[in-house]
Structure 1
Amino acid sequence: MQKQEIQSLLEAEAKAVASIPVTDEFGKAVDLIYEYVHKKKGKLITSGMGKAGQIANNMATTFSSTGTPSVFLHPSEAQHGDLGIIQENDVMLLISNSGKTREILELVDLAKGLRPDIPFVVITGNKDSLLAEAATACIFTGNPPEVCALGLTPTTSTTTMTVIGDVLVVLLMKRIGFTNHDYALRHHGGYLGDKSRKAAVLEKNK
């Protein structure tokens, strides 16, 4: 493996991240999550299929650890009873690069059947898709070409999805004034738990 090729791949991924369109939809998504989770006391439900589903699962755990209660709902399992996790005042965050993922589109219909007024935050590489049309807030990844040698495997697209999730998490943390003390209460074990507790002590003594 040539260093030049590795550098080229890294640059392609970095360029995709830097090219994510910064629009008002980010603010709209944050407002929705804040309104439904922190004011109306619902929760954030993330979902996606395949690689996007793994990212949605990671987002749920990251949101939860930073003060925004969130759970992951597998779109296929939703059709076999797990849809019951949706309650009043919940908001959904759905991820699909194509915006055409059958299971996610079906999940939209099922969720509306149970909670007709449920809002959707969508992260997609296709802003003209059916999923984008169903969104209350739609964040466009920029639809970068995959760095995969075949141009097929989710690589660059999943990088942009992950970064968008990170941005939403950080914006929500700032919106709710999340502190080291708050973090320590949710993260008791390991290096991060110890680090947050020490930082919380420093904050308290300022």
Structure 2
Amino acid sequence: MQKLIQDVLAAEAKAISSISDQNPFQQCTELFLRAKANGGKLVISGVGKAGEVGKKMAVTFCSVGLPSVFLHPLEAQHGDLGLLHQNDVLMLISNSGQTREILELETLAKRLIPSLQIIAITGKQNSPLANKSNYVLWTGDPTEACPLGLTPTTSTTCMSVIGDVLAVLVVQMSGYGANDYALRHHSGYLGSKAKG
């Protein structure tokens, strides 16, 4: 068991270190900040575990001053697509890049707002989702740490880390400070720490 634990930790660490720093992180962050300056927001969508990572990203971006929301792709087909407005950016997360609900959301979103900028976070660089997106943030397509090679493990870790890189860049490139953070995060340990 100890060997298995070590192997999982090593696989996750290796996957993170394999994420390319040549991904368009800066361009995507500039797109986010431009959207915010024009009254837009970041809308994030994914299904299953990728969707849960997307929810975490949305709340992280909000805490660093970038208006962000999670949009469930199924609910989008039942009216929630109205959440999307001009000047928004849509970030779609799919490890395979061929998740049906995500591809359908991309089609519907572009039909609603043809000029909508779309960012993909995916493990497959030549997938249908990647080919339809303005920017692709590639996870490196790591092998899952799960012994079955099926359960999203390293892939979702890499997605989350990509989100963290973007959040840090938002802080750095927007000049966001501790006082700005405190205004948005009043309670708990982090709230008291930000207020100093």
Classify the TM-score, shorter chain: over 0.9
Partner Cα distance (1:115, 1:196) in 2: 38
Map of 1:31 onto structure 2: 30
Shift of residue 97, structure 1, vs aligned partner: 0.2
Unaligned stretches of 5+ residues in structure 2: none
Alignment counterpart, residue 96 of structure 1, candidates 94, 97, 114: 94
Partner Cα distance (1:24, 1:3) in 2: 35
CA RMSD of aligned residues (A): 0.8
Map of 1:42 onto structure 2: 40
SS in structure 2 of the partner of residue 122 of structure 1? strand
Question: Which residue identity is paired with 1:85?
Answer: L
SS in structure 2 of the partner of residue 138 of structure 1? strand
* C-alpha contact (below 8 Å) 2:23/2:138 kept by paired residues: no
Alignment counterpart, residue 149 of structure 2, candidates 151, 167, 171: 151
Partner Cα distance (2:128, 2:187) in 1: 42
Question: Which residue identity is paired with 1:12?
Answer: A
Question: Which residue identity is paired with 1:43?
Answer: K
Map of 1:108 onto structure 2: 106
* C-alpha contact (below 8 Å) 2:97/2:129 kept by paired residues: yes
Shift of residue 33, structure 1, vs aligned partner: 1.1
Map of 1:141 onto structure 2: 139
SS in structure 1 of the partner of residue 24 of structure 2? helix
State the TM-score, normalized to the length of structure 1: 0.93
Shift of residue 4, structure 1, vs aligned partner: 2.2
| Residues 54, 24 of structure 1: alpha-carbon distance in 2 compared, 3 angstrom cutoff | closer
Partner Cα distance (1:12, 1:88) in 2: 41
Question: Which residue identity is paired with 1:46?
Answer: I
Deviations 1:90-110 (A, max 9, x none): 001110000000000000011
| Residues 97, 24 of structure 1: alpha-carbon distance in 2 compared, 3 angstrom cutoff | closer
Map of 1:78 onto structure 2: 76
SS in structure 2 of the partner of residue 154 of structure 1? coil
Partner Cα distance (1:71, 1:123) in 2: 16
Deviations 1:48-98 (A, max 9, x none): 000000000110000001110000000000000000000110001110000
Unaligned stretches of 5+ residues in structure 1: 199-206
State the TM-score, normalized to the length of structure 2: 0.98
- Structure 1 runs (4+) greater than 2 angstroms displaced: none
Q: Does 1:129 align with 2:136?
A: no
Partner Cα distance (2:129, 2:155) in 1: 17
Map of 2:185 onto structure 1: 187
Shift of residue 36, structure 1, vs aligned partner: 1.3
Q: Does 1:20 align with 2:25?
A: no
Shift of residue 23, structure 1, vs aligned partner: 1.1
Deviations 1:131-182 (A, max 9, x none): 0011111011000000111000100000000000000000011111111100
Partner Cα distance (1:162, 1:73) in 2: 17
SS in structure 2 of the partner of residue 172 of structure 1? helix
Partner Cα distance (2:92, 2:28) in 1: 12
Map of 2:66 onto structure 1: 68
SS in structure 1 of the partner of residue 97 of structure 2? coil
Which of these two proteins has the greater Rg computed from alpha carbons?
1
Matched length: 196
Map of 2:117 onto structure 1: 119
